[in-house]
Structures are given as structure tokens and as C-alpha cells.
């Protein structure tokens, strides 16, 4: 009998890669997704890659009664991995209420439906953005969180605080919050990857879309930061390494190996690369001279963010192992397949 896992936002970028890793680890998966920022085609590609088509429920988690009903139909689930959220940082600054409503109502309804149905294990998709502008690097989980610049980031920080209060009030509930640094890359099959709607906010998809001619040039947001080459440094992590960490975290909860009711782990590589490093690596991998221009800084960007990965290594026995070139090469393969039109 396979253990059933509910994955909210499972048609999304990180969600779909995690679903594949769960299926490959002999879990039964139920995807809940409202398809607001993903495509149902992803289900066919998951099927193509794994040979298994996950159970799919199209549902807006902001609808409390429908959410409660769907969870009661899957009360045999052993855990929930919660990816479902809006995640465009820039948009969240312009339209904060959309982000607070969507991300927090969805979270609250998911948690309530779990409690109602006795599903007491929860994995949360958090973000390094909860650290704000770090005073100490590399960032450990002990670094205090700061009020993130964007409403998107603040929904992640508030969510973690909700989890703290929940586990303090309910001693049967356990949660693991995974703080992602900068997820990039795509599945080696080239069948799934990042599918930004509209103009990409994030660096990697903007680079690959520029390289295929969809965008005229990449704007590099500032080279006057206090870093070796003046451009901001980030900890880029392959989405497959990220997916692997989620499966390890689920197994930890199912085996009741967690040491506290709420555990928090950074998911990064521990290595920082600048924007110009990423561009250089892309040019190396693709053989293309990327068209870019240095422009003004982007509001809210911090100079450096990279993770201490010691805790995840020690407690989860997990560390990222894909190199920057492997990450970039997989993103580039995905972009080219997307544009071949055969996806």
C-alpha cells in the first residue's frame, strides 16, 4: 500500500518536479492546483516521465468549503506539501492584497482541512526572503527573520509564524518549513521546467528567453553593489536537488524522526554566484553571447544571499549536488524545447 501525499500547487515549477520525485519514491500523489499559474499539460508530462498520472483536483484553496470537502475525500493522505501560492515579487508590491488573500487564505484553509481530517504532517514551501537583508553570511536558520521587502516575502514570514502558533496549540501536528534560496534548472527530460507567465521576474528565465530571441536584452539591475564584480550574489539551487529535499523531509515526518514539532531548513548549495557569474556560465554552456545592459538597481534587491547548508546536511542527510553549469544547461535545454513548439 503506497503512502498518499497531497501536493498543493503540484502543477507548478517546483511542485511538478517534487511530484516526479515522490512518484519515483513509490508515493501515491494527489495534486491540488487552481491552474492560475500553471498548465494541466504538466500532468501529461509527469505521466510521460514517470508512467504514472497523479490524481488531480482543480481547486482554488481560497474556497474553504470545497477545500474541506476535497481533503475529506483524501483523509488517508499521510502528509501535505504546500506549494500553492502566488510568487511574483514585483506584482506583490503593486497588489499586496491579492497576495495576502491568496497565499494566506489558501494556507489557512489547507491547514484547517488537514486538522479536520487528521492529516497531521505539513511541509511548507518557504523562502530565503524571510531573512530580509542578512547581517551575517552564510545565512543559518538561526539568523533572525526580518520584515521582507515584498508582500510575497511577508506572506512566507507570516505563514511560518502561523505554523509556530499552530504547533504550540496542537501537539499532534508536525511541520517542516523549507527555505529555498534561488531555484533554477529543469528536469533532465526537458519536458517540464519553469513556465513564467508574462515577462519573467527571475534572472534565469529572462536569460534563456533573451537567448532564444523572445526578449531583446537582459537588464542587469545594478553593478554598484558591495560585491567583487558589483552585481548581487545569490545561492542558485537546482530544482531537482530541491525536489529531493522535499521527499527526504516527507519521509522524516512519516517516520516521526523530527526533533521538534516545527523544523526549519535552508535549501541552498552554500555557494554564492553573482549575476555576471551566471551570465558567463550561460555563455559558456550555450556558446551564445548574451545581449545585456547594466541598468539601475531593482528596488528590494539585497547585495548577497547564500545559505549555510550545515543543518540540512546534519539532520536530513541532504545536500545539493548539481553544479551551476548543470543548472543552467538544464534551463537552456528546457527553453529550447519550449520554443521548438513540440511541447
> Which residues does residue 218 pair with via DSSP β-bridges, in sequence order?
292
Question: Helix (H) and strand (E) counts for the chain?
Answer: 12, 13
Grid coordinates given for 128 = 530565503
The contacts of residue 13 (CB under 8 Å, 6+ apart) are 38, 183, 193, 194, 195, 239
> 308 near 139, Cβ under 8 Å?
yes
Q: Which is nearer to ligand WQD, 87 or 157 (CB)?
A: 87
The contacts of residue 239 (CB under 8 Å, 6+ apart) are 13, 14, 17, 183, 184, 185, 186, 187, 193, 194
> 238 near 185, Cβ under 8 Å?
yes
Which 93-132 positions form the footprint of ligand WQD (CB under 6 A)?
Answer: 127, 129
> 339 near 212, Cβ under 8 Å?
yes
Q: Which is nearer to ligand WQD, 87 or 187 (CB)?
A: 87
Interaction between residue 298 and ligand WQD (CB under 6 A)? yes
Interaction between residue 219 and ligand WQD (CB under 6 A)? yes
Q: Of 39, 202, 227, 319, which one interacts with ligand WQD (CB under 6 A)?
A: 202
Interaction between residue 269 and ligand WQD (CB under 6 A)? no
Q: Of 98, 221, 258, 326, which one interacts with ligand WQD (CB under 6 A)?
A: 221
CA 129, CA 123: separation in Å to the nearest integer? Answer: 18
Enzyme catalytic residues: 152
Q: How far is the CB of 117 from ligand WQD (least distance, A)?
A: 29
Q: How far is the CB of 89 from ligand WQD (least distance, A)?
A: 5
Q: Which is nearer to ligand WQD, 154 or 286 (CB)?
A: 154
Q: Which is nearer to ligand WQD, 45 or 179 (CB)?
A: 179
Burial label for 156, CB within 10 Å (0-12, 13-18, 19+), is buried
Interaction between residue 206 and ligand WQD (CB under 6 A)? yes
Burial label for 230, CB within 10 Å (0-12, 13-18, 19+), is middle
3-state secondary structure of 192: coil
Q: Of 89, 107, 237, 307, which one interacts with ligand WQD (CB under 6 A)?
A: 89
Q: How far is the CB of 223 from ligand WQD (least distance, A)?
A: 9
Interaction between residue 238 and ligand WQD (CB under 6 A)? no
CA 244, CA 242: separation in Å to the nearest integer? Answer: 5
Q: Which is nearer to ligand WQD, 92 or 114 (CB)?
A: 92
Interaction between residue 283 and ligand WQD (CB under 6 A)? no
CA 30, CA 10: separation in Å to the nearest integer? Answer: 8
Q: Of 45, 87, 187, 246, which one interacts with ligand WQD (CB under 6 A)?
A: 87
Q: Which is nearer to ligand WQD, 120 or 129 (CB)?
A: 129
Q: Which stretch binds ligand WQD (CB under 6 A): 63-71, 99-107, 215-223, 282-290?
A: 215-223
Count residues binding ligand WQD (CB under 6 A).
18
Q: Of 176, 203, 249, 276, which one interacts with ligand WQD (CB under 6 A)?
A: 203
Which 300-319 positions form the footprint of ligand WQD (CB under 6 A)?
Answer: 301
Largest Cα–Cα distance of the chain, in whole Å?
Answer: 57
Q: Of 179, 187, 234, 252, which one interacts with ligand WQD (CB under 6 A)?
A: 234
3-state secondary structure of 277: helix
Interaction between residue 220 and ligand WQD (CB under 6 A)? yes
Residues that bind ligand WQD (CB under 6 A): 87, 89, 127, 129, 182, 201-203, 206, 218-221, 232, 234, 275, 298, 301
Amino acid at each position: 500500500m503506497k503512502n498518499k501525499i497531497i501536493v498543493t500547487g503540484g502543477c507548478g515549477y517546483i511542485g511538478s518536479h517534487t511530484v516526479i520525485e515522490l512518484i519515483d519514491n513509490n508515493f501515491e500523489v494527489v495534486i491540488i492546483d487552481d491552474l492560475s499559474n500553471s498548465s494541466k499539460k504538466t500532468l501529461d508530462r509527469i505521466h510521460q516521465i514517470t508512467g504514472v498520472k497523479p490524481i488531480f483536483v482543480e481547486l482554488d484553496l481560497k474556497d474553504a468549503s470545497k477545500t474541506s470537502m476535497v481533503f475529506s475525500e483524501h483523509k488517508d493522505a499521510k502528509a501535505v506539501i504546500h506549494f500553492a501560492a502566488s510568487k511574483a515579487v514585483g506584482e506583490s508590491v503593486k497588489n499586496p492584497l491579492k497576495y495576502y488573500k491568496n497565499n494566506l487564505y489558501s494556507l489557512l484553509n489547507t491547514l484547517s482541512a488537514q486538522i479536520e481530517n487528521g492529516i497531521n504532517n505539513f511541509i511548507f514551501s518557504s523562502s530565503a526572503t524571510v531573512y530580509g537583508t542578512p547581517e551575517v553570511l552564510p545565512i543559518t536558520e538561526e539568523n533572525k527573520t526580518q520584515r521582507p521587502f515584498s508582500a510575497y516575502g511577508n506572506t512566507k514570514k507570516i505563514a511560518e509564524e502561523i505554523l509556530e502558533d499552530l504547533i504550540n496549540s496542537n501537539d499532534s501536528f508536525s511541520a517542516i518549513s523549507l527555505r529555498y534560496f534561488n531555484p533554477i534548472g529543469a528536469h533532465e527530460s526537458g519536458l517540464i521546467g519553469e513556465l513564467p507567465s508574462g515577462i519573467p521576474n527571475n534572472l534565469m528565465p529572462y536569460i534563456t528567453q533573451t537567448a532564444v530571441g523572445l526578449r531583446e536584452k537582459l537588464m542587469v539591475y545594478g553593478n554598484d553593489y558591495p560585491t567583487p564584480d558589483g552585481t548581487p550574489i545569490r545561492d542558485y539551487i537546482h530544482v531537482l536537488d530541491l525536489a529531493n529535499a522535499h521527499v527526504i523531509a516527507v519521509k522524516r515526518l512519516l517516520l516521526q524522526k523530527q526533533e521538534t514539532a516545527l523544523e526549519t531548513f535552508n535549501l541552498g548549495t552554500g555557494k554564492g554566484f553573482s549575476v555576471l557569474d551566471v551570465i558567463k556560465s550561460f555563455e559558456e554552456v550555450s556558446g551564445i553571447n548574451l545581449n545585456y545592459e547594466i541598468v539601475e538597481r531593482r528596488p528590494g534587491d539585497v547585495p548577497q544571499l547564500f545559505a549555510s547548508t550545515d543543518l540540512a546536511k546534519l539532520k536530513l542527510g541532504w545536500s545539493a549536488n548539481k553544479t551551476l553549469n548543470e543548472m543552467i544547461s538544464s534551463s537552456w535545454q528546457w527553453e529550447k524545447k519550449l520554443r521548438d513548439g513540440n511541447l
